[in-house]
């Protein structure tokens, strides 16, 4: 099956530590790369990941806090030095272009490619990217400023033809597309051959949901129902629940509650507060509620769904 992977470039929160970079990750969906958030150092981490810069054409920024976008200038500038020619699209809540355009005009005067800003509202889901095989939709979150997550979904694929049955019924080639899309076959003699005899269902679509930064927010459960992989912020442990509420962040337990209620297949938690020298406490709190939880860490790569 084609690749669908999540690469963690950075999973710290606002205060960088010697252990974590600011937030950034890359989704590899069938060899197209999509960056989510771009904290300081993202370009260094991207280089370390050995992912191909040239396959990255879209960057999605969740919200306009520095630890989620300060790496943009360096990244854009470096792409220019590397002689990139393909357009680069940056998707974000309103306001990013106004802030960054003057910096780009000054520091990246002779870019060999174009940067396009696409801005969206964050109060309801918006389809912000679509190609032949996938879509990206925003997930409204609740933070101190407008913020949203991102839902990456494969498009349903046509059924697989069972070659032996096609041969057996001598189905003409021009019928094949209809059959892949679910139609039955009618023989020249008028016999109806049910689609289920001619095809096997395609593999189920795979989904990845990114939810950061946000306070505990049950409203997202419906939208992320059953995703193969959920990244949910878990800035704090339970004993800092009041602090989490006050700063519109989540605890590890809250991330796990969301994962359980949404019946996701796997949870990865991140955006760790700098106060945790070791995030084991966060993992324990989350795993107690939702066992299939892993800690994000720099340079971690996780498959989304069944990649075999």
- Given the rule CB under 8 A, which residues bind a copy of itself? 14-18, 21-22, 40-41, 43-44, 47-48, 64-67, 70-71, 73-74, 77-78, 81-82, 95, 99, 102-103, 106-108
C-alpha pair distances (Å), 104 with each of 77, 97, 116 = 8, 10, 12
Q: Would you say 167 is a known binding-site residue?
A: no
Kindly state the DSSP code that residue 147 receives in the 8-state scheme.
Answer: -
Query: Cβ of residue 44: shortest distance to a copy of itself, in angstroms?
Result: 5
Q: Residue 46 or 304: which CB sits closer to a copy of itself? A: 46
Residues recognised as catalytic: 67
Query: Cβ of residue 306: shortest distance to a copy of itself, in angstroms?
Result: 32
Query: Cβ of residue 107: shortest distance to a copy of itself, in angstroms?
Result: 4
Q: Residue 3 or 48: which CB sits closer to a copy of itself? A: 48
Report the distance separating Cα 234 and Cα 13, nearest Å: 10
Q: Which of 12, 4, 3, 5 is nearest to 295 (CA)?
A: 12
Concatenate the DSSP letters of all residues of 100-146 into one string: HHHHHHHHTTT-SS-EEEEEE-SSS--EEEE-SSEEEEEEE--SSSS
Q: Would you say 7 is a known binding-site residue?
A: no
Q: Would you say 105 is a known binding-site residue?
A: no
| Other beta carbons within 10 Å of 155 | 11
Q: Would you say 249 is a known binding-site residue?
A: no
Q: Residue 105 or 131: which CB sits closer to a copy of itself? A: 105
Q: Residue 77 or 223: which CB sits closer to a copy of itself? A: 77
Query: Cβ of residue 20: shortest distance to a copy of itself, in angstroms?
Result: 9
Report the distance separating Cα 289 and Cα 257, nearest Å: 7
Residues of each annotated binding site: 63, 65, 67-68, 143, 213, 271
């Amino acid at each position: 099956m084609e690749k669908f992977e999540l690469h963690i470039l950075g999973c710290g929160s606002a205060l960088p530590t010697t252990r974590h970079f600011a937030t950034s990750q890359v989704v590899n969906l069938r060899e197209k790369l999509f960056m989510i958030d771009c904290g300081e150092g993202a370009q260094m981490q991207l280089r370390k990941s050995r992912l191909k810069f040239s396959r990255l054409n879209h960057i999605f920024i969740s919200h306009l806090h520095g630890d989620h976008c300060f790496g943009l200038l360096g990244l854009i500038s470096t792409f220019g030095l590397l002689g990139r020619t393909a357009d680069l699209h940056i998707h974000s809540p309103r306001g990013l272009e106004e802030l960054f355009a003057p910096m780009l005009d000054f520091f990246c005067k002779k870019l060999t490619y174009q940067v396009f800003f696409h801005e969206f509202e964050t109060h309801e889901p918006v389809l912000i990217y679509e190609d032949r095989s996938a879509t990206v939709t925003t997930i409204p979150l609740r933070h101190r400023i407008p913020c949203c997550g991102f839902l990456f979904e494969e498009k349903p694929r046509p059924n697989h033809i069972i070659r032996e049955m096609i041969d057996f019924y001598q189905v003409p080639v021009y019928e094949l597309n209809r059959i892949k899309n679910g139609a039955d076959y009618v023989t020249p003699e008028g016999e109806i051959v049910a689609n289920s005899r001619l095809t096997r269902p395609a593999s189920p679509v795979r989904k990845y949901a990114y939810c950061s930064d946000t306070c505990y927010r049950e409203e997202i459960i419906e939208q992320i129902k059953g995703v193969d992989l959920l990244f949910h912020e878990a800035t704090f442990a339970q004993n800092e629940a009041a602090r989490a509420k006050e700063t519109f962040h989540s605890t590890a337990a809250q991330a796990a509650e969301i994962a359980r209620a949404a019946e996701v297949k796997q949870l990865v938690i991140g955006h760790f507060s700098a106060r945790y020298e070791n995030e084991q406490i966060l993992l324990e709190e989350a795993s107690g509620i939702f066992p299939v939880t892993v800690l994000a860490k720099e340079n971690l790569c996780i498959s989304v769904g069944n990649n075999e």
